Amino acid sequence: MSEFKYDLAVIGLGYVGLPLAVEAANNTLKVAGYDINEIVVDNLNNSMSHVEDISDQALNDALTKELFFTSDSKVLGESEYIVISVPTPLTDYQPDLSYVEAASKSIGENLKKGHVVILESTTYPGTTLEIVKPILENVSSFKAGEDFLLGYSPERIDPGNKEWTFKNTPKIVSGINKKSLEKISKFYKSIINEVVEVSGTREAEMVKLIENTYRQVNIAMVNELAILSNMLDIDIWEVVEAAKTKPFGFQSFRPGPGVGGHCIPIDPKYLSFKTRQIGQPVRFVELAQEINNSMPNYVVARISELMNKKEILLKNSKILILGVAYKKDIGDTRESPAIDIMESLLEKSADISFYDPHVDELVLNKNNISKEENLENLSSYDLILIHTPHSEFHEINFGTVSSLIFDSTGSFEISNAERI
């Protein structure tokens, strides 16, 4: 690696890129973190992390090693390995690869012989070969697989997961040829405990989509069974717990208010996009998306039904949403079902507030939603909706709360609560 000034440049310093940069620096690599957002760069260089899994102290410790952050693209030409970890959002259900394309162009403008380029951003199968490779070759006039090496490695970050971290989660790697695969595998083996090689970039791109499509489909199945069980007066939670006792052939999934975050609601749509291009819709996957997307409305309907039984009108009622993040013990509200639930309640003229120890403020339709600051006020609400099962909520004595309680997570043993 001596012919280059840096071992690694990471393009995009979000929840994927920043942990990679920090872990690489902690493993004695010389790392340049690159982002076009100068505010992000300045904050990071001053040990101010915007990624929950990387504390300010962890960032500061990494900065004392050979790590720095910059908005100067010249570092791309000075780094042997370049990892692309930029966003790939969906716009009108179409994958937006503009960030990947811009990153590839910047790399191409700085590309040298011997460079190794790795795409980590989640995308549809074929992106590395059909989008990234042509841009790099056209801009640089170099040939992929010969002058420079290229591959794909899907990110597997699970925010808030203390057991499975960046370091010990097996890493899928691929290359466009044998030489690319060998170099990319060698790099990740230097910073991650276990590396799993696959035969090509399309296979690696498909791995991430299968992982999260699998979860989407199974969550949708148990959500639909929860709706059916409620109609049949069956306790779905007791059923799931009993089914879990089978030591083979069954994996437990739990019903809930929907799916959220940066992966499960999004990744199957990349798959749907690609299959529509070849004229083969994935009907099962799209049905699962439809079911999970309907769950916030189902929650609101159950809330309305519960309040009607107590002769409480939903209009002008006081409702507190406990937890608005998409999963427990983090503050990320991206694609959170809580957003759709709260918007629906507002449309029905309910007076809503929220409490989430991990979320400081919440804005819906340019309006700040009131945040409850005192949990001693719980009984002042007509209904409490438990949306996110944060660990802190297990310390609440719900038995003393006189309000109606609807637990959409099934994570709490509350005798006076309705569950999904």
* pLDDT digits 0-9 by tens, 361-417: 999 988 889 999 989 899 999 999 999 999 999 999 999 999 999 999 999 999 889
- The percent of residues in the chain predicted with pLDDT above 90, rounded, is 88
Question: Does residue 204 fall inside a structural domain?
Answer: no
Question: Does residue 208 fall inside a structural domain?
Answer: no
Q: Judging by beta carbons within 10 Å of its beta carbon (0-12, 13-18, 19+), is residue 374 exposed, middle or buried?
A: exposed
Question: Does residue 211 fall inside a structural domain?
Answer: no
Of 199, 215, 249, which marks where a domain is finished?
A: 199
For the chain, what is the largest distance between any 2 Cα atoms, rounded to a whole number of angstroms? 76
- Are 300 and 348 within 8 A, CB to CB? yes
- Are 152 and 205 within 8 A, CB to CB? yes
Looking at the fold, whether 119 and 172 belong to one and the same domain comes out as: yes
- The percent of residues in the chain predicted with pLDDT above 70, rounded, is 100
- Are 118 and 152 within 8 A, CB to CB? yes
CA–CA distance, 119 with 109 (Å, rounded to integer): 17
**Which two structure tokens, joined as six digits, stand for 192?**
């991650």
Of 152, 181, 199, which marks where a domain is finished?
A: 199
- Are 304 and 311 within 8 A, CB to CB? no
Q: Is 418 left (phi over 0), alpha (psi -120 to 50) or beta?
A: beta
The residue with tokens 């996957």 is 285
Question: Does residue 153 fall inside a structural domain?
Answer: yes
Question: Does residue 317 fall inside a structural domain?
Answer: yes
Q: HSE-up of 185 (CA within 13 Å, CB side)?
A: 18
- Are 108 and 79 within 8 A, CB to CB? no
Looking at the fold, whether 49 and 177 belong to one and the same domain comes out as: yes
CA–CA distance, 152 with 100 (Å, rounded to integer): 13
Looking at the fold, whether 143 and 263 belong to one and the same domain comes out as: no
What φ, ψ does residue 123 adopt, rounded to 5°?
-160, -175
Whether pLDDT at 94 is above 90: no
Write the CATH number for 248.
3.40.50.720
Question: Does residue 205 fall inside a structural domain?
Answer: no
Strand 6-11 with 31-34, pairing: parallel
Q: 317: part of which helix (H) or strand (E)?
A: none
CA–CA distance, 183 with 1 (Å, rounded to integer): 11
269 Cβ neighbours under 8 A, 6+ residues apart: 90, 93, 95, 289
CA–CA distance, 154 with 270 (Å, rounded to integer): 14
Looking at the fold, whether 172 and 264 belong to one and the same domain comes out as: no
Of 170, 199, 228, which marks where a domain is finished?
A: 199
- Catalytic member of 184, 263, 285, 330: 263
Looking at the fold, whether 29 and 114 belong to one and the same domain comes out as: yes
Q: What is the pLDDT of residue 90?
A: 87
Looking at the fold, whether 167 and 286 belong to one and the same domain comes out as: no
**pLDDT tens track for 33-82:** 999 999 999 999 999 999 999 999 999 999 999 999 999 999 999 999 99
Whether pLDDT at 2 is above 80: no
pTM of model > 0.85: yes
Looking at the fold, whether 242 and 186 belong to one and the same domain comes out as: no
Question: Does residue 96 fall inside a structural domain?
Answer: yes
**pLDDT tens track for 262-295:** 888 889 999 889 888 899 888 999 999 999 999 9
Question: Does residue 306 fall inside a structural domain?
Answer: yes
Q: What is the pLDDT of residue 366?
A: 82
Looking at the fold, whether 294 and 367 belong to one and the same domain comes out as: yes
Looking at the fold, whether 247 and 162 belong to one and the same domain comes out as: no
- C-alpha dihedral, 281 to 284 to 290 to 292, nearest 10°: -140
Looking at the fold, whether 339 and 285 belong to one and the same domain comes out as: yes
Q: What is the pLDDT of residue 1?
A: 44
Looking at the fold, whether 241 and 304 belong to one and the same domain comes out as: yes
Mean predicted lDDT score pLDDT of the chain: 95
Helix, strand, or coil (residue 369):
coil
Looking at the fold, whether 246 and 186 belong to one and the same domain comes out as: no
Catalytic residue check, 178: no
346 Cβ neighbours under 8 A, 6+ residues apart: 352, 364, 365
Number of domains in the chain: 2
Q: 151: part of which helix (H) or strand (E)?
A: strand 149-152
Domain residues for the domain of 127 are 6-199
